[in-house]
Amino acid sequence: MNTSLIDVPRGLAGVAVASTSVGEVRGEEGFYHYRGHSAVELARSGSFEAVWELLLGTPPDGAARNLPPVLGGVVDRLDLRSALSFLAASMGLRALVDESPEERRADAHHVVAALPTLVASLQRGTVVTPRPELGHAADYLGMVTGEPPSAELARALEQYWILTVDHGFNASTFTARVIASTGADLGACVVGGLGALSGPRHGGSPSRVLDMLDAVAACGDAHAWLQDELRAGRRLMGFGHAVYRAPDPRSELLREVATAIAPERAALARRVELAALELLAGRRLVTNVELYAAVVLEACGIPRRWFTGTFACSRVVGWCAHALEQAEDSKIIRPDAHYVGDPPAA
């Protein structure tokens, strides 16, 4: 074994691998912010567009929401990751290492603006036309449902999006930064981030939260159902967090939002939450963002299989802000590992 290597904790927990001015999560306090502004306060009273400008430096351009016409031939047969690669290629994004900061920022705006249209088009199986006069969240809901969006649901989705724009060095953001450190194009960073986000230990859990709520509703006894899950060695979806030890502030605001737009489902989620926290007591596991996010997304009419894609429409802002920041650093992120396999043949 190479003893000159520095060993870090499992999962890189508690290891600072970069400096950032994008945002910060204070897990012991149950607080996080974007460039010094409380994310929860922004979600209570701000707009998604203002948060976008805060993170990416310039305001969004509604005209950039349109998809390149070439997407029309493929949206009925691609999954999100493939379609996103296709979109990035059709935008002609260049390697970050070859671009000026202004060109990188222009790429970021283009990708962030077009992603909701892409996700909505994949859901509809045809390229949909955005309405730039609407806010991003309202426009997305309208494109997904094909109907004029309700102001109440559009605001609920907007609050969810503001809360999920960025969140420290989570797995997808770190992935995006690793790819940015190679000098690859911004599309590669975003596709990589999306891949990491899709896992159920990260952004892939809210559809499983709804499966859990359905199962608890059918069983009628939240405590018994959750206890069986834990006894079977399974994790409870929507609970636990790598950083939060105090309550996750996202879940607290989303509980309010969910209760306002889907009171019955939110009440079921609350029963599940109280039973889960009782069963998990002593393990310092909190309710995370996904429990009530699932209720909010369902109430907004988003099909479960598109929950992660809808999450990506906000987190893409954070991935791009981090990728642009990482692109300023010429050092590639390239850690090492202890080799523990068979020794080389003599």
Provide the binding-site residues for ligand ACO, judged by CB under 6 A: 170, 200-203, 205, 235-242, 283, 285, 288-290
CB closer to ligand ACO out of 23 and 240: 240
Given 158, 241, 273, 298, which residue is catalytic?
Answer: 241
Residue closest to ligand ACO (Cβ): 240
The answer to whether residue 33 is catalytic is: no
The answer to whether residue 136 is catalytic is: no
Supply the minimum distance, in Å, between the C-beta of residue 293 and ligand ACO: 8
Supply the minimum distance, in Å, between the C-beta of residue 10 and ligand ACO: 8
CB closer to ligand ACO out of 61 and 214: 214
CB closer to ligand ACO out of 95 and 230: 230
Q: HEC profile for the chain?
A: CCCCCCCCCHHHCCCCCCCCCCEEEECCCCEEEECCEEHHHHHHHCCHHHHHHHHHCCCCCHHHHCCCHHHHHCCCCCCHHHHHHHHHHHCCCCEHHHCCHHHHHHHHHHHHHHHHHHHHHHHHCCCCCCCCCCCHHHHHHHHHHCCCCCHHHHHHHHHHHHHCCCECECHHHHHHHHHHHCCCEHHHHHHHHHHHHCCCCCCCCHHHHHHHHHHHHHHCCHHHHHHHHHHCCCCCCCECCCCCCCCCHHHHHHHHHHHHHCHHHHHHHHHHHHHHHHHCCCCCCCECCHHHHHHHHHHCCCCHHHHHHHHHHHHHHHHHHHHHHHHCCCCCCCCCCCCCCCCCCC
Given 99, 229, 273, 290, which residue is catalytic?
Answer: 290
Supply the minimum distance, in Å, between the C-beta of residue 112 and ligand ACO: 19
CB closer to ligand ACO out of 99 and 290: 290
Supply the minimum distance, in Å, between the C-beta of residue 99 and ligand ACO: 30
Catalytic residue IDs: 241, 290
